[in-house]
Amino acid sequence: MKKSGAALIFCLLAGCATYDLDLMPRGAGPMAHGTAKQFDKSVTINLEGETYTGRYAFVQGGSFTFGNAFAGGQTATGSAYSVSASGNGNILAHAADGHNLRCIFTASGWTQSGTGICLTDNNQQYDLQISR
């Protein structure tokens, strides 16, 4: 019980989000779907009857800033807080039969969503949407 409680607290503090992945082929064909887990960076995508598993990497860059100022009489004070808001990442996944899937994406930590492109090892391209 203590281990599961500690895991729950860790998830709440570190983030255990699951993201939905939707892949639309650039040509004819059905959409593919999958999930990415923030906790262990694992990815599972079901594409054309195959299940691809792998991991993703995400590097945040950019930022947004909150600021405030107070002025009274002859003095003024201010403060600001900057938080990384967006970044780039990739997905590397493989199927049991040896086929590979590679994706690159840009995502926002603020909106918890992103877009990108995926490529199979037989050169099929897919548009990628990431949502939570």
Tell me if 51 sits within 8 A of 42, measured CB to CB.
Answer: no
The predicted model scores a pTM of: 0.73
pLDDT > 90? residue 1: no
Tell me if 86 sits within 8 A of 62, measured CB to CB.
Answer: yes
Positive or negative torsion for Cα 44, 86, 25, 131: positive
CA dihedral 125, 98, 95, 38 (to 10 degrees): -80
Residue 76, pLDDT score: 61
Tens of pLDDT, residue by residue over 28-77, are: 999 999 999 998 999 999 999 999 999 999 888 755 566 666 666 666 66
Domains of the chain in sequence order = 20-65+76-131 (2.40.128)
CA dist 49 and 55 (Å) reads: 20
